[in-house]
Structure 1
Amino acid sequence: MRLDLSSQIVLDRVPQRYYRPENEYELSAQTRYEKVPTSIYESSVDASLHIAKYIADRIREKQKSNETFVLGLPGGHSPQTVYGELVRFHKEEGLSFKNVIVFNLYEFYPLQPQSNSNLRLLKELFLDHVDILPQNIYSPDGSVPKEEILNYCRCYEQTIQKVGGIDYLLLGLGRAGNIGLNIAGSSFGSKTRLVLLDVQSKKEAVNTFGSLDKVPDSAVTVGLSTIMNAKEITLIAWGEDKAKSIVDVVEGNISDRIPASCLQSHLNAHIVLDLNAAYGLTRINRPWLVTSCDWNDKLIRRAIVWLCQKLNKPILKLTNKDYQNNGLEELLSLYGSAYNVNIMVFNNLQHTITGWPGGKPNADDTNRPERAKPFPKKVVIFSPHPDDDVISMGGTFKRLVDQKHDVHVAYQTSGNIAVGDDEVIRYVSVMEDVRSKYDPTNEVLKKEYADILQFLLHDKKQDDVDTPDVLFLKGHIRRGEAVAGCRYVGIDASHARFLDLPFYETGKIKKNPISEADVEIIKDYLLEIKPHEVFVAGDLADPHGTHKVCLDAILAAIDELKDADWLKDCRIWMYRGAWQEWEIDHIEMAVPISPEELRAKRNAILKHQSQMESAPFLGNDERLFWQRAEERNKATADLYHQLGLASYEAIEAFVEYKPL
């Protein structure tokens, strides 16, 4: 069973020679905008294995000469697959860590004895599973008294120097370009010190602490000077949400606005990326500027849209000279003139637009994204959380219902950890009022409600996991909101299915890995409905990773079922919206949304009251979900108009997934 198919979606549009050049000459040409040596892998799994093998080899080299190997390690999500491989090497290949000294790069401050911490995370993921000597683990202490913290930082720096400095430093990349917890404005001469966390850094720490209000205000971090003194540095980044920062770090100028840009001046720094994180680099995103291209319709569209935006021109006004002056002479050679390319791209974009996302009955569907027959269609919308359906494709959802298709929604997770305690307190208080009026002698319910309120109002500590009863209520709050959203769009509650995939139901932010049990649930559901059209979330920038796991579960199920006759006649569309939008060169179906439909979409999103201002996981975007959705949909429509196509209020965009 293939459980990581989402990582291969990008391969459909990036030829291997762009990220694995055939020779040194090609590498030199393609990377001429890159100021730090950068390696790109097809997936984070492949990249992590490569890094772990290199670290293991360095450890063994030091063991042969009876020397210690000093390793600097970060927390965060990115290095977790590297740590997993190192643990595997220890257990399966006998790799010993007895000669390894580890320095934790940062720790949050102040910390209570039982608080989550960066060191605790490192131990859970790595250090507790290998034979490293306890006395060889160094970490900033989050409980040092405030009056001693400055001297403590100086001593930590001195300890690094006493062991000979850091031999190999592994770094993750923050979304704002920070390394360690050195945020924008950090001095390049800074050493280990106490820093005040900015809002971005605190949001990235939510995965460790559970909610923003539990994240400490400060941290002790090694400084940029300490980092630059490491003998060898590898910075890693996975996922589309890191792509913009990677461009700044690799191709931008050295600036304290982007702390990681200082790596450009390190003599032995190396950056390792997966394809999604590398997507903004010139050789991946604009290859025509550095090499000859393998031109296809999508790459041509991307190049022409880029040219239109650069010159502020619509497609049909581009000239031969525009192409010649901007590195696109190849297209003139292939197609004869700018006009020939312009009209091809214009028509290609025009054909993506449809007001019939389920196909228009009794119409010529030659140039339509979705086929006319059968009609009506059985449609399944998979929603990772109980609100992604209306946030990302609420207008299309309603259009499918209004056009009389048989629409079903499958909510893959309960979303229970994304409900604030205040919501449960409010609901339980109402339930208790109802009980006292209509069932005053029910002592069981009375005690149950009292216990829940006691736990949430008085007993619950910072790192406590919710009780099963609280998780049940949080899940059912979100169920009720999802059903209300479905009802508003126009489908009956019987067409809403709550799958409660097992990987999610830990009660913690950290989820279990995807398993065959998750896939089997989706397979059974698909076999029950046998849809003609499926919509799935292709939004992999979700900072908590749930969308990716949910997509992998669906793609694994489709992979298992792909030989079935009904699936061969099924179209699979990927939507985005909660965290990002499709770039226009990838859009294959664009559904226009009228002003009235956009207001209806907003109302459907607003049915999810627990996910408004008080939602624990709004991510790095300050806007509420309905605001994000509207602004992204309007921006897509505006771009179509700027390119010379019709003007719409908003557009929801989709990309087709074809089983591998």
Structure 2
Amino acid sequence: MRLNLSSQIDIQPVHGENAWLKGDIEWTPRLLRSALAWLSEKTGKSLLKLTDKDYSENGLDQLLRIYGSAYDVNIRVFNDLQHTITGWPGGKPNADDTDRPERAFPYPKRIIVFSPHPDDDVISMGGTISRLVRQHHDIHIAYQTSGNIAVNDEEVTRFMHFINGFKSLFLDDATEEISRKYKEVKNFLSNKKEGDLDTRDVLTIKGLIRRGEARTACAYNHIPKERIHFLDLPFYESGKVEKLPMGEVDVNIVYDLLCEVKPHQIYVAGDLADPHGTHRKCTDAVLAAIDVAKSRGDEWLNECRIWMYRGAWAEWDIENIEMAVPISPEELRMKRNAILKHSSQMEFAPFLGNDSRLFWQRAEDRNRATAKLYHDLGFADYEAIEAFVEYKPL
């Protein structure tokens, strides 16, 4: 089996490199977007207010020679960006979809959102998930890893106290095994030293905690339990921060789910900068499974589009965005609530990284910044925007 590597994806940033100031270049649509976003920011003007003088004074007069006038360049890029904006991420039925990011049909669509950890779905695209649910698509959430190492021991202790109390109140004496396991886990945690690896029982409890949080968030978003999938990809289950290599067994688990659902849309993590590489391996597993489907001639793939989101660590540059989903203030509040259902990942989450903001704060800041960028370029003043890039298998 050939494993598709996410590092092969051509999503290299060009915004900020100012390649256009180094002489005549080949003007691709992405570079044109990047240059005008840069010029807009530098002049403090929206796209349609840029003038011939703005271009000439900032080293972009070659665009005037190519397109004839500032107006012609402005309107070209304005229309290009305007067509990325949609309130219908699953496609708007019975509407002309010529200039929309997604197809009108089929409707409703079967959709899989792949979430590397049991909270990346709502952190990265919680507003879009809510919109897809309200627009009556059949959404499946696939949690690729257990996320068990990202749970603090205090959370385990809290749940163990609950189990012990529940046993005392409602269960009879035929619960010696529960009592034994409770004492065993409690003793391990009491004597655990820094650097000690968790036992398999402790890891299992931590995984259950995250499953419960994910189910609660899905219930909040009205996703039925039969459409929630916990894949528990084996590469993650090393018990350590350093994971095992992603291999065929991981790819086969993902492929089996794809064949079961036969999706019309797939959402997958494109945020490959998480500290320990889990997102990258999870994305590799999905793209490799898609490679397998393509090599086997699976018909469902012909009707499927793949969208990549970004989460708590970064956002797409403006030149790469191909679908921008506006989020209202109420939808942003609902997104925050869904993230907060993952209570073990709030203040005491072990892997917040160097960014002191909590995940819901990062998500809101990122989504508001994207909306502000569009507004500064001359578009509507949205509360927030979630952005996506389409992945096309080679």
Opposite residue 71 of structure 2, the aligned amino acid is Y
Matches within 5 A, 1:3-152: 3-10=3-10
Deviation at 1:364, TM superposition (A): 0.4
Taking the aligned partners of 1:577 and 1:7, their CA distance within structure 2 comes to 18
1:283-326 deviation line (CA, Å, top 9, x unaligned): xx321122432212111111100110111110001111211222
1:376 to 2:102 alignment: no
2:148 matched residue in structure 1: 416
Taking the aligned partners of 2:306 and 2:37, their CA distance within structure 1 comes to 26
1:484 to 2:226 alignment: no
Matches within 5 A, 1:352-367: 352-367=84-99
2:346 matched residue in structure 1: 612
Q: Secondary structure at the match of 1:408?
A: strand
1:447 matched residue in structure 2: 180
Q: 1:538 to 1:567 in 2, by over 3 A?
A: same
* Match for residue 170 of structure 2 among 417, 432, 438: 438
Matches within 5 A, 1:174-573: 285-441=17-173, 442-457=175-190, 459-562=191-294, 563-573=297-307
For the 8 Å contact 2:15–2:319, the answer to whether it is kept is no
* Match for residue 628 of structure 1 among 359, 362, 369: 362
* Match for residue 652 of structure 1 among 369, 374, 386: 386
Relative contact order (C-alpha < 8 Å, sep 6+): which is higher? 2
Taking the aligned partners of 1:528 and 1:549, their CA distance within structure 2 comes to 22
For the 8 Å contact 1:393–1:652, the answer to whether it is kept is yes
1:597 to 2:331 alignment: yes
Taking the aligned partners of 1:564 and 1:335, their CA distance within structure 2 comes to 44
Taking the aligned partners of 1:336 and 1:329, their CA distance within structure 2 comes to 10
Opposite residue 574 of structure 1, the aligned amino acid is M
Opposite residue 107 of structure 2, the aligned amino acid is F
Which 4+ residue blocks in structure 1 deviate beyond 3 angstroms? Answer: 279-282
For the 8 Å contact 1:358–1:370, the answer to whether it is kept is yes
For the 8 Å contact 1:3–1:514, the answer to whether it is kept is no
Opposite residue 31 of structure 2, the aligned amino acid is L
Q: Secondary structure at the match of 2:9?
A: helix
Deviation at 1:564, TM superposition (A): 2.4
Q: Secondary structure at the match of 1:349?
A: helix
Q: 1:591 to 1:545 in 2, by over 3 A?
A: same
Deviation at 1:650, TM superposition (A): 0.6
1:30-87 deviation line (CA, Å, top 9, x unaligned): xxxxxxxxxxxxxxxxxxxxxxxxxxxxxxxxxxxxxxxxxxxxxxxxxxxxxxxxxx
For the 8 Å contact 2:14–2:319, the answer to whether it is kept is no
Deviation at 1:3, TM superposition (A): 2.8
Taking the aligned partners of 1:345 and 1:298, their CA distance within structure 2 comes to 10
1:173-192 deviation line (CA, Å, top 9, x unaligned): xxxxxxxxxxxxxxxxxxxx
Opposite residue 6 of structure 1, the aligned amino acid is S
**Range with greater deviation from structure 2 (561-570 or 539-548):** 561-570
Unaligned runs of 5+ in 1: 14-278
Taking the aligned partners of 1:348 and 1:648, their CA distance within structure 2 comes to 18
Q: Secondary structure at the match of 1:407?
A: strand
Q: 1:308 to 1:412 in 2, by over 3 A?
A: same
TM-score (norm 2): 0.97
Q: 1:429 to 1:382 in 2, by over 3 A?
A: same
Deviation at 1:543, TM superposition (A): 1.3
1:460-516 deviation line (CA, Å, top 9, x unaligned): 121211001100000010000001000001111111100011110001001011111
For the 8 Å contact 1:385–1:415, the answer to whether it is kept is yes
Taking the aligned partners of 1:547 and 1:317, their CA distance within structure 2 comes to 40
> Which structure's CA Rg is the greater one?
1
Taking the aligned partners of 1:475 and 1:554, their CA distance within structure 2 comes to 22
Taking the aligned partners of 1:291 and 1:445, their CA distance within structure 2 comes to 73
1:143 matched residue in structure 2: none
TM-score (norm 1): 0.58
For the 8 Å contact 2:4–2:291, the answer to whether it is kept is no
Q: Secondary structure at the match of 1:573?
A: strand
Unaligned runs of 5+ in 2: none
Deviation at 1:440, TM superposition (A): 4.0
For the 8 Å contact 2:14–2:34, the answer to whether it is kept is no
For the 8 Å contact 1:354–1:369, the answer to whether it is kept is yes
Opposite residue 625 of structure 1, the aligned amino acid is F
Taking the aligned partners of 1:436 and 1:378, their CA distance within structure 2 comes to 45
